[in-house]
Amino acid sequence: MLREDIIIDIFSGWRSFLRKCLFRVLRVGPIPSHIAVIMDGNRRYAKKKKIDDMTGYDAGALALLHLIIYCMELGVKYVTAYAFSIDNFRRHPEEVQKIMDLTMESVMLLTWISKLRLVRVHFAGNLQLLSADIQDAAKRLMESTAGYNNFVLTICICYTCSDEILHAVEESCKEKWDDGIGIMGYDEGNDYERLIKVVDIEKHMYMAIAPDPDILIRTGGEYRLSNFLIWQSSCCHLSSLGTVWPEFGMFHLVWVVLDFQQNYRYFAKKKLQL
């Protein structure tokens, strides 16, 4: 079955009706605005199922499509997925190339989904590290969906938070320099005044398109952030699941949201203190 057919099947039928009923009950409590996910465990899934690694990544891409649909129906406006780290370029070249091929295929599919459901798609990361054809396809998709605001999907590719912060600082300095201000100045008391402020850095972050995540999910039983949204996750609910990513489903999402709702007052209080 083609992925387009799978998506249409998910949106319709009795399973869609039951899912919407469940989500309606879940919406009695607070619903997160932004869910971020570290999609870990694709290769372990492939090993477990005795299939090749690429089929495992393909299953992971399908799991992400399911998550997107579930979040749209639940009322979550922002979803961010950690698809490929800059550090992943250290893997075997053949594996990297297969992932890039899957990325290109996913861009084509997201183009179709964005038209169907008015989804804004954003790619966050050092896109210059991608091949020219993927860069062009990604830029075309971002430009064509820039006017949509019902749902925002961010794919972090060629991304690490360290690189994001470095990029934001460099862009902030360049902006001040181009304005003829410089980086440091003097106030009236002849004390050094910081002309690069937090607001300047955050404006130039790759993730400036979305608010800080309310929930950050990592599958695969790991408890590391792996250089993902470190700047943005200081006050979000962290959820580590033992299941590998391709096996992540609706009930995993429901469990995570219920856990978030139980701790909502704590995180809401923390955000007010920032």
CB 36 within 8 Å of CB 156: no
Helices (H), the chain: 3-11, 14-26, 42-49, 53-74, 93-117, 132-145, 161-178, 198-203, 250-262, 264-273
Give the Cα separation of 127 and 135 in Å (integer): 6
Q: Which residues pair with 215 in a beta bridge?
A: 35, 237
Nearest in space to 87 (alpha carbons), one of 156, 162, 160: 160
Active site residues: 40
CB atoms within 10 A of CB 107: 19
130 vs 22: CA distance, rounded Å: 40
- C-alpha separations of 12 from 117, 150, 199, 213 in Å: 14, 20, 43, 29
Q: Pick from 106, 92, 113: which is nearest to 39 by CA?
A: 106
Please check whether residue 159 is in contact with residue 127, taking contact to mean a CB–CB distance below 8 angstroms. Answer: no
For 33, the 3-state DSSP assignment is coil
Place of tokens 């979803």: 79
Tokens encoding 185: 């100045």
